[in-house]
Each structure stands twice: as structure tokens, then as C-alpha cells.
Amino acid sequence: MLTLERLRPDHADAVLAFELANRAWFARTIPDRGDAYFAEFPTRHAGLLTEQAEGTCRFHVILDPSGSLIGRINLVDLADGSAELGYRVAESAAGRGLAKAAVAEVCRLAATDYGLTSLTAATTLDNPASQAVLTHNAFAVTGEILLGDRPALSYRRSLAALRPTE
């Protein structure tokens, strides 16, 4: 069981600790955030909260049953009924279906609470676990792209089946 919480100011320390503890793990399959991200984290966190307040993004933390932060899942660039999905789970939480469950929940939220009609996502070719998460959650491959300098696949999912009927 997991819980998604909208990003808040009091999540800052836990998010930074999560990012630092898993930096090498993430860099194996996604472009590294770079040293500046960590050096300027308080400013970055405040900026995310501002974007969220403006309604252009929806940031979430993923908590395990004990309340420990084990991941992040975000919807960015909300516009015209769509947003880009991004997520990451801690190395210690990988392989237990948590990313699949978190993506399913954020898709539900996107459709029901945020009024979105579709989501896009991307993952590097050397990240089959993330590809499986997206495929499991009804995302379809739309093409090949680069993430940073890494070959990747782009995905799209319609949220029509999740939208409430009127």
C-alpha cells in the first residue's frame, strides 16, 4: 500500500535526502540532475511549489505505509488537457510494483481531480522496468526521442476511460 501526497514545503528535507540517497541509482537509467540541483535545492523546491500553486504542475511524493518517502511522481506542463508524467522510486523500493501502483493512482487523479484528458511520458531504452510500468498502465509508444543524450521512447495515454461520466 502506498500514499500519494501533493508536494508541500515540509517535504523538502525528505525529498532532498531521497534524491541524494538514490542519485547513483537514478543516473543508471535517466540523465543525472547535476550538482547544481543539489546545491540549490531549497530554491528549486520553492520554485516547484510556486509552479504547483500556479496550476502548471502537480508534484507528489510517494510514501510507504510507515510514512517514509520512497518516490516522487509528477505531472508537469499542464496545458490543453494534457501533462507530462515523470516518476522515480527509491532503489530500496524497486521491483515491488510500487511504481505501477503510483502511476495508476496519478492517472486516476489526473483524470478525476485535475481534469486532464491525456498524459505523455518518456523513458530511456535501457530502462525496461519503466517501460513495463508505462505499458502496464495503458501508455502506448509514440516514437523514439533523446532524453539528454540517451535514446528513449515517448509514450501517450488517453485518460477518457478514467474520467467520470456525467
Could you read off the pLDDT of 33-56 as tens digits, one per residue? 889 989 999 999 999 999 999 999
For residues 69 and 15, the answer to whether their CB atoms sit within 8 Å is: yes
Listed by start position, the domains of the chain span: 3-162
Q: Identify the band that residue 165 occupies on the pLDDT scale cut at 50, 70 and 90.
A: low
Check whether 166 has a pLDDT greater than 90: no
116 Cβ neighbours under 8 A, 6+ residues apart: 75, 78, 81, 82, 83, 110, 159
CA distance 88 to 31: 12
Check whether 164 has a pLDDT greater than 90: no
Record: fold of 3-162: Aminopeptidase (3.40.630)
Q: Please tell me the predicted confidence (pLDDT) of residue 136.
A: 97
